[in-house]
Amino acid sequence: MDFVSIIMGSKSDYEVMKNCADTLEKFDVKYELIISSAHRSPERTKKYIKEAEQKGAKVFIAAAGMAAHLAGALAASTTKPVLGVPMKGGAMDGMDAMLSTVQMPAGMPVGTVALGRSGAVNAAYLAMQILAINNKELAIKLQEDRIIQAKKVESDSASIEVIL
Ligand code: RP5
């Protein structure tokens, strides 16, 4: 069974990453969500990646703050796509996590998304776009979602626009 694996470095990341899980649920995409840290539980993280791959994980989403090595550690252990969501917080309010997540050495990519809720939601969308390459039903749902988003812009605008 194909699914998306979401790994958070800490329970404190859940409030933001719930938006990622909710987005996958909205599209009926299966996911697994666990807490495992690159620093506090490196062996558990490594073991989980292998088990998740065997169970059918097709894309990994890693959320971490501060030194934020989780996405990089995942990328080192799998050739499946890894998306990194930098978490806000700490002395630099996420700037450290963002740079750590995005600055991977050549040949070890992590697709890094924005800080905060937008990043969590977009990680889900990107994961689904990857799955949709081989899933026509999901591809259609994503196309329909774009139409819904465009219609919302039109209706929002109609409710407040002032045109001469
Ligand atoms: C990172 O450190 C976690 O991903 C989290 O964003 C941050 C702080 O973790 P806690 O001290 O709140 O557990 O590893």
pLDDT tens digit string along 94-141? Answer: 999 999 999 999 999 999 999 999 999 999 999 999 999 999 999 999
Predicted pLDDT at 128: 98
Please report the pLDDT score of residue 21 as a whole number. Answer: 98
pLDDT at 122: 98
Ligand 1 proximity of 77 Cβ (cutoff 6 Å): no
Residue 77: the pLDDT is 97
pTM listed for this prediction: 0.96
What does the alpha-carbon distance between residue 78 and residue 82 come to, in Å, rounded to a whole number?
8
Q: Pseudo-torsion of CA 100, 7, 51, 103, nearest 10°?
A: -10
Answer whether 64 contacts ligand 1 (Cβ < 6 A). Answer: yes
Give the tens place of pLDDT for each residue, 46-80.
Answer: 999 999 999 999 999 999 999 999 999 999 999 99
Q: How many whole angstroms separate alpha carbon 61 and alpha carbon 82?
A: 6
**pLDDT given for residue 154 in this prediction:** 96
**123: closest CA among 11, 1, 29, 41?**
29
**Per-residue confidence (pLDDT) for residue 17, from 0 to 100:** 98
Give Cβ neighbours of residue 154 (< 8 Å, ≥ 6 apart). none
State both tokens at 150. Answer: 């465009």
58 DSSP β-pair partners: none
Q: Which atom of ligand 1 is nearest to the CA of 89?
A: 6
Cβ of 87 closer than 6 Å to ligand 1, yes or no, is yes
Query: Mean per-residue pLDDT for 142-155?
Result: 98
User: d(Cα 103, Cα 70) in Å, to the nearest integer?
Assistant: 13
Do residues 55 and 3 make contact, with C-beta atoms less than 8 angstroms apart? yes
Closest Cα to atom 5 of ligand 1? 65
| Closest Cα to atom 8 of ligand 1 | 65
Choose which residue among 13, 15, 16 to substitute to test ligand 1 binding: the one with the highest number of ligand atoms within 8 A of its C-beta. Answer: 13
Q: What is the mean pLDDT of residues 14-29?
A: 98
Instruction: Establish whether residue 12 lines the binding site of ligand 1, counting it when its CB lies within 6 angstroms of any ligand atom.
Output: yes
